[in-house]
Amino acid sequence: MTDTSEDSTKENTEENVQPGTEASGNVGKNTESLTESGTDESSSEADDSTSSSESSYPAVVLETVADDGTSIKIDAPEGAFPEGIHVTVKAVEPDQILDALRTAADDPELAAEDVAAYDFDFWLDDGTQQIEPKKEIAVQIGLPELESGDTVSAWHLDSESDETAESETVTAESDSGTATITSDVFSIHAIVVRRQAESEVKIGYDGTIHSVTGPDNSKIILFCMNNDLHWPHSTPDTPNVPNYKKTTIEEFCKANKIPNNETLAQNVENVLYAGYPYNGYGLYQVVGQAVSLTEGEFNQFLDPPAYLRTDFPDSVGNNTFTYADRNDASKRALLAKFFQESMKLYPNGSTSSGVPYSQLTARPFYRAAFCMVNTDSPIDEYSKLYIRGSYVTESQAYKSTSNAIWTLMFNNSVPNNTEVAQDALTTKLLETAENDKILKQAPSSGDLTVSGGTTFRYSSEDGKWHTDPLKLSAPAGYLTPFTLSLPDGVSEESGRTQVTVGEEFSLVSASPASSSTISLSAKVPWMDGDLKVYEPVENGSASDGKGYQNMVGAVIKTNELSVSATLTRTDEYTDLTFKKKWEDHNNQDGLRPATTDYASKLHLMNGSTEVKDVKPTVTDNGDNSWTVVYSGLPKYAGGTAIAYSVKEDSVSGYTADAEMVADGGTLTNTHKVKSNTTSTSETNPTNTQNVQPGTTPTIETNPTNTQKETATTTPSSETDPTESSIKTSGGAGTAANGSNTNSSGSAKTGDNSALELYGLLSALSMAALLILLGMKHRRNKA
């Protein structure tokens, strides 16, 4: 296949740059020397060393042609060259270095026509100083005759007379007809291309897997195509196995009279791509040993994630399910209802939290619930449907792939095949045979993106932090599952550790960091070239007359890809508000502090720890109550909601009903006000001898209170609803001793001792009045 863009580049280069001339970053101007910016460069005013040391070292791409017309492209990273450089490339006669190459390659048959060598020189633009790169750079050399299967090697020599050559890293691409070397030392570099002849090869065997060595020394895994014939490796019955030679799938089909070779080729390519070891369609996961599902593991599948409980409140809700519930009709009815609700989303609906139907049915809970409702042996059925064929050992994967190839041969009437058993993975592989999704170009991490909900938000329903659904996106053909790498304490909602391209997933954490990173990585396979088919030479057969199997494989490479995304956390804020009440008869004694002074007596607390540097706002409501507000407080610490409270210092002259108050609470401070009286003398209500003539007696209405209330109290505008003012009058008369018998007092209605005292005093007053009236009546009668 020809790379059009490469041909175009070469065409333009050859047209505009003469062979042997110098070139730089912008090719396409008929100039002897160009800088990487494409402008003519005047001579440097500074000396060479000063110019070099003071220059910056930007990344640069240089394109030119050697003096033999070969296209050259140089890609230098930042830091390799100073700004303002150019390169000259001259072809070197292969005969001058052939002996050194034969020795180094241990190939005495190496011919000059197999070698392309070039001498590279890098210069500052003023032409006064030759330089070497400070870092490795990539040099791409055009080799238009390069074919798939050619063996390519690269070598470095200091000069044409050098008798030794050192091996270098080289990457050859037959599609573009280029070979790329990587080096930080430049003089002569030689590319050796050996065309792979139709020579014999030996099929390798490691006790399990057959293979041959590819042109780049990679192992091409092979599978047998005729299960009725002998193995391509030595056995006690067939110790002398013939060599093999290359053929094509077309020649194989023609020799075996298969009419539609294109269909068979497509089928085989898909099975090889999907099978062992490439897993191109993500059908299975290789494990160390066969997986057996336990009851405990199955019960974990039956524990639905929080979002499913919310999405299906009537069936899932807060219910719990276990394997033992397979015999519980009520629990199975709930799971059946869950399925009915799920089916309403078919085929393109989503749950209220945004989970598509296709993703819902892939969740472990859905699958476990399906087995609970529809089978009598849920664990066995789950293993059969979702584990066997999905989790396999390497030997199982290889065997399943072998059986799939033999089944294709049998189904297409290829001779010397009998039907073989199909396990779960074999069936899956055969189902991919008609696919047209094989990736045939090298995949790149740059094609991957992660989109969606990268922000954690707190949920009061379960006390955890959740993201909205995320999705991994990539071009068609990136079908391998990607492994999630998550920060400590973060997991995927359904417990998955792998996701596929286009599949949504959500994350959950009890305490996420304010910023963290996730990554998704995978080894993505891609097929390089056509099928590789091998047949025994000269129709080799064993002593029993039976032949040997044909072999098929493919050059399938893997690229390690990864993509990352940054997670953040939305921090929420809250306010703390409480009410402050003052029971002090409208601040009668003037002891109530100002709002600003009161604020200094408050301490915001997070448990037993004071939260510093947060000041409250205190508002006087005008009704002997204040509103205290702490605003903009972080709602969570480490993912856990903070329970704020306020601690109050004592206020002089007041008694508080509590030391601490929480959000929405009330804190009351009480002060016993001073009394307004005409006398401050104390009267023992049970001793009338203490009442002096001409005075108003003082009555203690609450004997347990150290503060006395006078009989003549000026009522406050603030009235305690638990108190009532009680006034008694003994009449308009005057006692014998001339004292006024009018008295008044106040008592709490709930204070029995005060009422009894009041009654006693009233009775004494009435008795005195009656005595006086009786004495007056006797005098008048006399």
Pairing label, strands 464-466, 507-509: antiparallel
Note the pLDDT of residue 587. Answer: 95
* Cβ contacts of 54 within 8 Å, gap of 6 or more: 46
pLDDT over 90, % of the chain? 53
Element (H, E) at 690: none
pLDDT tens, 146-184? 887 577 889 999 888 888 888 888 888 888 899 999 999
Residues 6+ apart with CB under 8 A from 716: 585, 586, 588, 673
pLDDT per residue over 529-540, tens digit each?
999 999 998 766
Full-model pTM: 0.48
> What is the percentage of the chain residues whose pLDDT exceeds 70?
77
pLDDT confidence band for 770 (50 / 70 / 90) = low
Say what the pLDDT of residue 41 is: 40
Taking residues 688-713, report their average pLDDT.
42
Q: pLDDT at position 397, please? A: 93
Is the pLDDT higher at 353 or at 44?
A: 353
Q: How far apart are CA 743 and CA 684, in angstroms?
A: 15
pLDDT confidence band for 779 (50 / 70 / 90): low
pLDDT confidence of residue 766: 66
β-strand partners of 244 = 201, 536
Q: Cβ distance 430 to 271 under 8 Å?
A: yes
* Three-state helix/strand/coil letters over 259-312: CCHHHHHHHHHHHHHHCCCCCCCCCCEECCCCCCCCHHHHHHHCCCCHHHHHHC
pLDDT at 306: 85
The alpha carbon of 436 is separated from its chain's Cα centroid by a whole number of angstroms, namely: 31
For range 413-428, the mean pLDDT: 93
> Which of the two residues, 140 and 544, has the higher pLDDT score?
140
Domains of the chain (ranges; CATH) run: 4-194 (2.60.220), 295-392 (no CATH), 573-670 (2.60.40.1140), 688-781 (no CATH)
Angle of the 261-274 helix axis to the 424-431 helix axis, nearest 10: 130
User: What tens digit of pLDDT does each residue of 613-669 get?
Assistant: 899 999 999 999 999 999 989 887 766 789 999 999 999 999 999 999 999 999 999
Q: What is the pLDDT of residue 147?
A: 81
Question: Are the beta carbons of 635 and 650 closer than 8 angstroms?
Answer: no
Query: What does the H/E/C string look like for 217-248?
Result: CCEEEEEECCCCCECCCCCCCCCCCCCEEEEC
* Residues 469-488, mean pLDDT to the nearest whole number: 94
pLDDT in tens, 43-84: 344 444 444 444 589 999 999 999 999 999 999 999 999 999
Residue 45 has a pLDDT of 41
Which is more confident, 105 or 432?
432
Average per-residue pLDDT for the chain: 81
